[in-house]
Amino acid sequence: MDSRYALAVCLTAALTACAPGAPKAIPADLKGPRLVQAFPKPNFVLQRNDGTPFDFRAETKGYLTFLFFGYTNCPDVCPLHMNNLASVLHGLPPETAKRVRLVFVTTDPERDTPEHLQSWLAKFDSSFVGLRGADSVVNLIQRSLGMPGSSRDAALPTGGYTVSHGAHLWAFTPDDSAHVVYPMGMQRDDIAADIPKLLQIWPGR
């Protein structure tokens, strides 16, 4: 995936860019790594924690939607991304925050039961959506985005196991495309600065 990224430089703050009379934001203003070619929002249906179907494209229409594949027993990447995004959303103006969604697709449905997944996500933000599906289906979705499929690693000496998965936080703008992804290591301030710009540059219809 690294070959698809083109780093952008941003020198303006998020709220300033959207202030009345401020210059309109442009893609070059974004702090997140930009994709050389935009990815269309994937079309898939998985199960919510309550067992009802969640049509990703339909349910997130018109929102800036962050999509992440991970698992609740992840020791580092997953909780860090969730904590960073929750902190970002809690710091946004309410009118901006309500235009943002986070969808977390588990790569470990065996251990991530609906109850456990819902409880884990609620620790970060109760609005975060948790989805489950068969490994084959989830891997197909990941591969459609150019990511490797997830795989279970060898058992740990202390019990349990880890799961290899991509660490990218996808940002699908209201035009139903991803122009930017946020890899592990992106600062929360950078994501916060980008959110108003992503909504302004690609507002959808």
Per-residue pLDDT tens over the stretch 68-121? 999 999 888 899 999 999 999 999 999 999 999 999 999 999 999 999 999 999
In a domain? residue 54: yes
Q: What is the pLDDT of residue 16?
A: 37
Q: How many domains does the chain have?
A: 1
In a domain? residue 125: yes
Kindly give, in sequence order, each residue whose CB lies less than 8 Å from that of residue 3, ignoring residues fewer than 6 positions away. 36
Would you say 72 and 132 are in contact if contact means Cβ atoms under 8 Å apart?
Answer: no
CA distance 20 to 31: 22
CA distance 66 to 89: 11
CATH of the domain at 107: 3.40.30.10
User: Residue 146 is part of which domain span?
Assistant: 35-187
Q: What is the DSSP letter of 61?
A: T
* Residue given tokens 């990703």 in the structure block: 56
Query: Taking Cα atoms as reference points, which of 89, 101, 125 lies closest to residue 14?
Result: 89
In a domain? residue 24: no
Kindly give, in sequence order, each residue whose CB lies less than 8 Å from that of residue 40, ignoring residues fewer than 6 positions away. 176, 177
In a domain? residue 173: yes
Query: Taking Cα atoms as reference points, which of 124, 116, 111, 23 lies closest to residue 66?
Result: 124
In a domain? residue 95: yes
Give the 3-state secondary structure of residue 200.
helix
pLDDT in tens, 21-53: 557 889 999 999 999 999 999 999 999 999 999
In a domain? residue 26: no
Give the 3-state secondary structure of residue 132.
strand
